[in-house]
Structure 1
């Protein structure tokens, strides 16, 4: 299978690259992936598969059945783009103003379509089922959960995803067991005081001063409330108040994000944020409304699935190109919801040097596509043949 697989990937790569460029030119924002989903569904149907559409919004999934019943592994790719104006000057740059594939989801989608084509044929010699999941709305968090509610993970025994990664050499594979990516949350705080003329501050309950105190106090949440060995981030990213230079307003607003690697730290930070906000407002004669929105939980990779991917990756690229990641990423991924439903893991596919993700000049390096395809295919077939080992050491 090894030589045959490599030869097939090499032959199909020009088409895979063409597909990625097509998708890159036609990005769609989270929740608006109608054309992308239709394109994916057509390609799956052309392979003789029966795609299910409208799953969790614009989600699509399809099953590839083996010769007889067995285990089911799901392979997931995300499809949505970001609200960024592309400035790459690429010949296949985004045709849509203010929208671009700045996180590599065009690469993820094109790659998984290629995996579908290969596994459609390989599954004739294997038992079990491969489920191909094309997910909408990863960037806004919620697409995975909505797909799960619509049945995309029903009957799945194992789930695997990848993410293109700038911080790894081109074509290398990065693996980490346990917490791999952070859980995310956002908060909106409205501080309601009492406005007055700026020349008579004693008549006010100044919401700007109170909001400023809250911002400063929140800087102590991670440093004084969280165990130093537990990574966490709390950032106040927006502050709004007032309309004139001589009027103390009635209201000030704050907004920010929280990133954590464990559910316990996540719970603790929310409780402390609420305590600080209410305490500062009580001391200043103001009142507050807090909207604390929990996003996706941390991505906690199953060590057994990581061991499976490691075996596939070593077969594909050799041991020298497979790395154990020392640090978790404080970025968030709603793939976390899927691995709450079945043992799973997300691995990182090295894109080498270049503009970072979520910037206006980012591009998924086409040279990494073949490695991603091969590791995904090998992982699926190894799982169907052997399942998961009873246990594996964390890395």
Structure 2
């Protein structure tokens, strides 16, 4: 394999430094928007290497800025810092020391990768401005938007922005860089059906919301099978039902919470329109009132084709032939980096985390752990991309 400038392998001692950082973060996970200690750890290292560090962006978000030469181009690299509210079940020494919290998605590794790249890029000869964005609350799908709303791209303009994620089940040394729709949007749909309560022995005197729920379930499940074409990807999952408290009382109301995921705004709009039609039809048919609330948690993640091709070209010297894949398995999970891609063109790509029982373990699993073998490779990906962009 050939390499680009400054993409030589990290020494064993350098790699161990960032493995230790990753494991330190893993052992002390922080949730959601509350990542003060992780942010403090990141800021201290960036400042040590000469970055101008700006903290408190959208909460505990921070940006490390390094400008070199006279170039006007600006690039943004983003890593997420937050963990998940779940109990870790791994026996190793760096397992979470905090009950009910776990880095089960690899954000500890993403942070370590970007720090390793920052360390090497501090001594690189690129020409332009590097913005390293460390974001909280990706799991809650709120962190990216909070940073944007706090002026992220006004304060730190970027011509393009990039992020990566580990991919369990794919071999280390493989990468998926996909143009166009890549991950799904996420919407929370809330339905509250208002009827008229009464005695279970006298249903004719009540307006029972429970049969409405049953009918809504069947109708909503037909959206995917009867209103969308085979090329339109969507997942509609009814995750919560609530009605009544006693067996012999007809409740006043019932409620539902639904998750809707699509990979394009057009499919999302079609589903929302159909939900509205179904709900209003049920109001007429059953004589109930239905409150429909649709909340977009994050849009679909759509990679800019030109930036995806830039990533492939930059990474080509780092991977064996055939290991840079233009498409991966269809993923209907959601990533709030999509908010950033709605503001600035860019690309989100996936690095293989490994195969087998351990490193092939899915994210959001109590036995998952990030593969430390990705730290050096991921950092070299960032270095190659920056040095190719800021010339």
Interval of TM-score (by shorter of Structure 1 and Structure 2)? over 0.9
Instruction: Give distance in 2, aligned partners of 1:281 and 1:327.
Output: 40
Quote the residue 1:371 is aligned against: 377
2:112 is aligned, of 95, 110, 124, to 110
Residue correspondences, number: 383
* 3-state SS of paired residue (2:144): helix
Shift in Å, 1:4: 5.0
Alignment of 1:212-231 (within 5 A): 212-231=214-233
Quote the residue 2:150 is aligned against: 150
What root-mean-square deviation, in Å, do the aligned CA atoms of Structure 1 and Structure 2 show?
Answer: 1.5
* Residue 10 to residue 340, structure 1, CA distance change in 2 (3 Å): farther
Instruction: Give distance in 2, aligned partners of 1:191 and 1:94.
Output: 42
Quote the residue 2:309 is aligned against: 307
Deviation sequence 1:178-207 (CA, Å, 0-9, x none)? 101111111111111111222222222111
Instruction: Give distance in 1, aligned partners of 2:11 and 2:213.
Output: 56
Unaligned ranges ≥5, structure 2:
none
Shift in Å, 1:3: 7.4
Instruction: Give distance in 2, aligned partners of 1:24 and 1:80.
Output: 10
Unaligned ranges ≥5, structure 1:
386-395
Q: Is the contact made by 2:88 and 2:367 (CA closer than 8 Å) also made in structure 1? A: yes
Q: Is the contact made by 2:126 and 2:390 (CA closer than 8 Å) also made in structure 1? A: yes
Quote the residue 2:287 is aligned against: 285
Quote the residue 2:180 is aligned against: 178
Q: Is the contact made by 2:4 and 2:384 (CA closer than 8 Å) also made in structure 1? A: no
Alignment of 1:118-137 (within 5 A): 118-122=120-124, 125-137=125-137
* Residue 117 to residue 326, structure 1, CA distance change in 2 (3 Å): closer
Deviation sequence 1:227-264 (CA, Å, 0-9, x none)? 22111111111111111122221111100111111111
Instruction: Give distance in 2, aligned partners of 1:90 and 1:119.
Output: 32
Shift in Å, 1:10: 4.5
Shift in Å, 1:94: 1.1
* 3-state SS of paired residue (1:75): strand
Quote the residue 1:338 is aligned against: 340
Instruction: Give distance in 2, aligned partners of 1:62 and 1:3.
Output: 22
Quote the residue 1:388 is aligned against: none
* 3-state SS of paired residue (1:185): strand
Q: Is the contact made by 2:169 and 2:361 (CA closer than 8 Å) also made in structure 1? A: no
Q: Is the contact made by 1:168 and 1:174 (CA closer than 8 Å) also made in structure 2? A: no
Shift in Å, 1:151: 2.7
Please report the TM-score for the alignment, with normalisation by the length of structure 1: 0.93
Shift in Å, 1:320: 2.8
* 3-state SS of paired residue (1:319): coil
Quote the residue 1:42 is aligned against: 44
Shift in Å, 1:328: 3.5
Instruction: Give distance in 2, aligned partners of 1:29 and 1:281.
Output: 40
Please report the TM-score for the alignment, with normalisation by the length of structure 2: 0.94
* Residue 160 to residue 3, structure 1, CA distance change in 2 (3 Å): closer
Quote the residue 1:296 is aligned against: 298
* 3-state SS of paired residue (1:380): helix
